[in-house]
Structure 1
């Protein structure tokens, strides 16, 4: 995406794996379905079971085998030996033993545990069949209802999952895990209030459940209560300090509160615990972009480390030689979790409608399920729409390869719902990254970064693993909103005082930005600053933001801090802004173009990397280079100059939307031709390189 206007990063919603067989054996949790234990083997079996529960696998296995040497048809010993094999990682052999035990003695407990192990082996349909078979024998088996709900949620049948888990808690209200599973399914349906209630019930039964604390944090974070979510995540970390995903989640809410040092440390701890944890590494890279103390070289090195780790885990596909005519129609795949009401969706919409289908065939790979009005407008432009949200990296890469995609385009980079590890498999012969990010992915398997001469000057190409592919005008094409909102008159003429504004993610407001903006407010008498973003939903974050400016002498009364709004209301809020201030080094993208569409000019600062050049690209493309400041002092001087030119501001405001619409930033047919040419140019270059370097047929 173009900015962090909507950059919530990946969160862990993990639930406990369903209960293991030994606990089922000991608890007697079915009616009329208890396994029969031969009297001569009871003591040996109990001793084996004790070793099993204590994690002494070899001792337990020896005793289970001792029983089986005496009686090869001893179902309990066979069953628990199978569970033990699964516990130590030999799932195929373990599942085979469990299935044999069921043939000898069909009962609900065995079938429930077969479901557990099939689920662990990623055999979801097999797990569902086993749980349903268990319930056919014991309809009141609460654990099986809960486990069935867990797997139904995994396969995307969320409503059925809610029904199963609700039945589990009706049958056994004291079953804490059933409340967690119910909460997870409710959260998937968007029923956060109900989910939070379920998690609280689970914690009342089991206060030491790290998953429940974690999931409480998930809900509170969605509510915009970052400080409260932080408390929940910290409780989870105390309970499971070695679990990387919990530290990743804690890093997310620390970041949203502007606690960048602490967030950075959390992400690094997560990566140390789990070096191949792609989500945490992406979150770290995204965060480092906001820090002015991180150089382009440091950013590159960290991204390169990510790329090396992911490449080491992947097995690259082998691609055949070029398929005949270089001018043929190309199959191009777009992979993103943001093919919806999101900056990526907004920038894609008008372009897709103008691509020449005789030159480009599009296939979508949606990495999350989110169907809204924008998604439904995008779908008809694709020949196929693949939901890959539940596929692992290998299966997702295989899907792309089986679809015979010529060029696979990443639209996420290191932002939310990215699937960059899939690109490490090289499922398409040519791969590119575009639109969703603003720095190198670090993956050598991605051939190109689609850019323009402003965001990626040739002398900065060393900051990228990918080769730059420059579009002639801008690398962006804005889709105007599908509703009418008047620009309105210059607010300063009605209010008397000038209002600066910024609607970017609060993480962009680092201490250097706050310091410079405080200088601007101090230098323009009576001026105010309107900040509007999701993070300001949290009262604690609003207080902290006022304190940051107060520490630099700015009275809190001069700050207008507002929560997030639906898009139409967000755009209407620009009618109260005279000049938009662009943060740095992480400049705005979507927010900047939306401000211009609402007649509000943006003041940006020249940078030293793609991320910092986005504002420059936008302003140069619409012909307003005078609004680009060279440094902090020039930024302050331009803010003073423009704020004093009320008549000129009013004139610019009245003409700015038409100026934007007439520029290449909104010329979708022109942009579509450039994008088609880029894809065909990439494909032709591949063919030429193969022919020159390997003598392969073109």
Structure 2
């Protein structure tokens, strides 16, 4: 018995070393052969196999290993390892588009996780996944916010007293882990580089662990840059308080590596969230959430705990760091048929959306559907997605899968019409499609984060591409698919239209933002 246990430990250690050295195929083979020969599996060994399979992008195999682990070791006293396994299962299910199951897995991780701070991370993960659930209700979201607040209360954070400092300039701080080559960074450059230096002093609080050229541009643009990537939440709060920040803006919400608990310390006079996330933080310490009149017709929403701070045009300002290739001609002119497409994160593509796309393909004979995502470039991802599509009766012979590639912007030249997702629409991908001359059909949505596509298109004067419901979405897609002259016209003019629109007008955007900041500051002093 002791000899068997020793062999089990040695196999785990050997595989772990190979995994650390990124020798993933060898690590997987070692564990698999040991299991077959010995019949012995350990909790740690199976969890390591899940990590190996994740890193090899064998996501379906990862799910199978995790499900077996959680059944086999359900009664284990190693709560931390079980919580890790549930968290991994939540992540891979989200990647595969199983959002509801993902939320439940993350909630199990919250339940088992012994570390109070990590519980909050897992609850954020659950909230993030919930946004892609088709038909998700305000009550469902509010229940998750309530859970987050209970977990936050368990930290027994002592907030700072209301500040009484006075400055010649309003001090604005931005906190984010995405101040790098990331989707969020394509919308924040004006905040760091185009503000009124006579009225404002800007501080960047960076959680970026691997700074890049984008980080450097943002750092050089603002007055003060703080690298807080190695700081605890309390240390971040202490630094922000020491800097006497008047308005602190969270740019992450419940996305990865967020630092939302910092706001529970109330280090700043005014605290708001926005841009980097699409739904409420659920925190009582947030006085507002950045939005616009298209995303939020009212100041209050049942999906939000914060007041919605509505800018008069767009609450986004798109200023890409990437160089874009030239816009090609509409591909239908050369191919003789229309190609619909979607390059959105595939976790946003729920079954309800696929059935809508299926109807569009049925109503536009000979049309094609082009889908591109990292999941669709790997064997297991393709197999899993194909089975899912076949179950829904999708016409597979008219659908093309493509994996991730560096030339993805050029591949918009293979698409005539982009189909947006709902209730979790595209953000950066919508802007990229439009900038490449590809019109985007979107659903209006019933809340701030579900209405991004509507806001983008309304700011371009293209509200006719926005549908009130699924039936209208299909009708719009079918109608423009039949007007090749319109597709060619949009192809030739969309980039110029974007450049002339509020979506890319940094000066006007900052005037609106700074007017909001000034009002928030005056209301709080």
8 Å contact kept, 1:587–1:615: yes
2: CA distance, partners of 1:409 / 1:181: 41
Higher helix share: 1
- Kindly state the Cα deviation for residue 202 of structure 1 after the two structures are TM-superposed: 8.6
8 Å contact kept, 2:106–2:126: yes
Instruction: Indicate which of 202, 210, 214 corresponds to 2:47.
Output: 214
8 Å contact kept, 1:522–1:554: no
- Kindly state the Cα deviation for residue 421 of structure 1 after the two structures are TM-superposed: 1.8
How many residues end up aligned between the 2 structures?
Answer: 504
1:407: which partner in 2?
A: 247
Residues 15-42 of structure 1: per-residue CA shift (max 9 Å, x gap): xxxxxxxxxxxxxxxxxxxxxxxxxxxx
8 Å contact kept, 1:491–1:576: yes
1:454: which partner in 2?
A: 294
For the residue of structure 1 that corresponds to 2:54, the secondary structure is helix
- Kindly state the Cα deviation for residue 402 of structure 1 after the two structures are TM-superposed: 2.6
Written as runs of structure 1 = structure 2, the 5 A alignment for 1:131-146 is none
Q: Which moved more, 1:206-215 or 1:517-526?
A: 206-215
Residues 78-135 of structure 1: per-residue CA shift (max 9 Å, x gap): xxxxxxxxxxxxxxxxxxxxxxxxxxxxxxxxxxxxxxxxxxxxxxxxxxxxxxxxxx
For the residue of structure 2 that corresponds to 1:250, the secondary structure is helix
Distance 1:419-1:210 versus aligned 2 partners, 3 A rule: farther
Written as runs of structure 1 = structure 2, the 5 A alignment for 1:137-536 is 180=16, 183-184=19-20, 193-194=22-23, 210-211=43-44, 213-234=46-67, 237=70, 238-239=72-73, 242=79, 243-274=82-113, 276=116, 277-324=119-166, 328-458=168-298, 460-536=300-376
Unaligned runs of 5+ in 1: 1-172, 187-192, 688-698
8 Å contact kept, 1:332–1:407: yes
Residues 637-689 of structure 1: per-residue CA shift (max 9 Å, x gap): 111111000011101110000000100100112112222222222111111xx
2:5: which partner in 1?
A: none
Residues 517-570 of structure 1: per-residue CA shift (max 9 Å, x gap): 10011111011111111222332222232233333433312111111122xx11
Residues 138-176 of structure 1: per-residue CA shift (max 9 Å, x gap): xxxxxxxxxxxxxxxxxxxxxxxxxxxxxxxxxxx9696
Residues 556-591 of structure 1: per-residue CA shift (max 9 Å, x gap): 12111111122xx11111101100001111111111
TM-score (norm. length: structure 2): 0.89
8 Å contact kept, 1:521–1:554: no
CA-based RMSD of the aligned residues comes to 2.6
For the residue of structure 2 that corresponds to 1:331, the secondary structure is strand
- Kindly state the Cα deviation for residue 463 of structure 1 after the two structures are TM-superposed: 2.7
Instruction: Indicate which of 446, 451, 455 corresponds to 1:617.
Output: 455
8 Å contact kept, 2:138–2:302: no
8 Å contact kept, 2:60–2:384: no
2:442: which partner in 1?
A: 604
For the residue of structure 1 that corresponds to 2:478, the secondary structure is helix
Instruction: Indicate which of 480, 505, 515 corresponds to 1:677.
Output: 515
2: CA distance, partners of 1:224 / 1:260: 19
1:47: which partner in 2?
A: none
Q: Which moved more, 1:546-555 or 1:212-221?
A: 212-221
Q: Which moved more, 1:468-477 or 1:535-544?
A: 535-544
For the residue of structure 2 that corresponds to 1:423, the secondary structure is helix
1:27: which partner in 2?
A: none
Unaligned runs of 5+ in 2: 1-8
- Kindly state the Cα deviation for residue 178 of structure 1 after the two structures are TM-superposed: 8.7
- Kindly state the Cα deviation for residue 628 of structure 1 after the two structures are TM-superposed: 0.5
2: CA distance, partners of 1:324 / 1:378: 26
Q: Is 1:686 the counterpart of 2:503 in the alignment?
A: no
2: CA distance, partners of 1:623 / 1:215: 52
- Kindly state the Cα deviation for residue 212 of structure 1 after the two structures are TM-superposed: 5.5
8 Å contact kept, 1:502–1:581: yes
Residues 26-70 of structure 1: per-residue CA shift (max 9 Å, x gap): xxxxxxxxxxxxxxxxxxxxxxxxxxxxxxxxxxxxxxxxxxxxx
Written as runs of structure 1 = structure 2, the 5 A alignment for 1:31-180 is 180=16
- Kindly state the Cα deviation for residue 198 of structure 1 after the two structures are TM-superposed: 6.5
2:482: which partner in 1?
A: 644
8 Å contact kept, 1:319–1:429: no
Distance 1:512-1:320 versus aligned 2 partners, 3 A rule: closer
- Kindly state the Cα deviation for residue 460 of structure 1 after the two structures are TM-superposed: 4.4
- Kindly state the Cα deviation for residue 447 of structure 1 after the two structures are TM-superposed: 1.2
8 Å contact kept, 2:100–2:130: no
- Kindly state the Cα deviation for residue 304 of structure 1 after the two structures are TM-superposed: 3.0
Q: Which moved more, 1:470-479 or 1:260-269?
A: 260-269
1: CA distance, partners of 2:199 / 2:404: 41
- Kindly state the Cα deviation for residue 204 of structure 1 after the two structures are TM-superposed: 8.4
8 Å contact kept, 1:203–1:212: no
- Kindly state the Cα deviation for residue 336 of structure 1 after the two structures are TM-superposed: 1.4
8 Å contact kept, 1:518–1:549: no
Q: Which moved more, 1:575-584 or 1:363-372?
A: 363-372
2:430: which partner in 1?
A: 592
1:545: which partner in 2?
A: 385
For the residue of structure 1 that corresponds to 2:265, the secondary structure is coil
Residues 449-470 of structure 1: per-residue CA shift (max 9 Å, x gap): 0110111221643432112212
- Kindly state the Cα deviation for residue 429 of structure 1 after the two structures are TM-superposed: 2.3
1:160: which partner in 2?
A: none
Q: Which moved more, 1:424-433 or 1:535-544?
A: 535-544
